[in-house]
């Protein structure tokens, strides 16, 4: 199963993103397919934080609009939401140690650990920092357009 990272969702949502033209159809194809796809819950949290932040986007997405975007994605019958499972802490410690994680990059380690716990075959992300986690296959689907 493919999981989608925050940045792909942000680019699909924000028409002013230089990657919007590639991201929107990429996410739309996932929604319209028969195959299951996934989003870790922390990615939706981060999505709302990024698109509503006035230092990231001017003007920022209004909170209600950002929440509505997530609500629409949640309606997809083939979407699987991923959260921390029982052995999450051990997985997080492992990926953080292997990736030599410090500071804010712990968020990426959290996403990697959640994906690995759920047997995600591939994470779609434009964030090269995920290369720190060799056991997680990461693809930037915007480069294959």
Name the phi and psi angles at 80, rounded to 5.
-115, 125
Count of Cβ atoms closer than 10 Å to residue 140 Cβ? 18
Print burial letters for 95-122: b (CB count within 10 Å at least 16), e (below 16). bbeebebeeeeebbbbbbbbbbbbebee
Per-residue pLDDT tens over the stretch 9-33:
999 999 999 999 999 999 999 999 9
Name which of 135, 110, 138, 143 is nearest 124 in CA terms: 138
pTM of the model: 0.94
d(CA 128, CA 15): 22
Report phi then psi at 18, rounded to 5: -65, -15
CATH superfamily of 2-139: 5'-nuclease (3.40.50.1010)
Report the share of the chain in percent with pLDDT over 90.
98
Per residue in 97-114, pLDDT (tens digit) is 999 999 999 999 999 999
Q: Is the pLDDT of residue 133 over 70?
A: yes
- Predicted confidence (pLDDT) at residue 144 exceeds the cutoff of 80: no
pLDDT category at 145 given cuts 50, 70, 90 is low
């Amino acid at each position: 199963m493919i999981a989608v990272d925050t940045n792909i969702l942000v680019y699909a949502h924000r028409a002013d993103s230089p990657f919007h033209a590639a991201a929107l159809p990429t996410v739309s194809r996932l929604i319209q397919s028969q195959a299951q796809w996934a989003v870790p819950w922390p990615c939706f949290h981060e999505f709302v934080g990024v698109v509503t932040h006035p230092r990231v986007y001017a003007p920022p997405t209004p909170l209600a609009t950002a929440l509505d975007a997530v609500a629409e994605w949640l309606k997809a019958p083939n979407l699987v939401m991923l959260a921390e499972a029982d052995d999450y802490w051990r997985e997080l410690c492992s990926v953080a140690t292997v990736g030599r994680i410090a500071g804010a990059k712990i968020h990426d380690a959290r996403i990697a650990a959640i994906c690995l716990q759920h047997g995600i075959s591939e994470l779609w992300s434009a964030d090269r920092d995920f290369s720190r986690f060799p056991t997680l296959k990461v693809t930037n689907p915007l480069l294959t357009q």
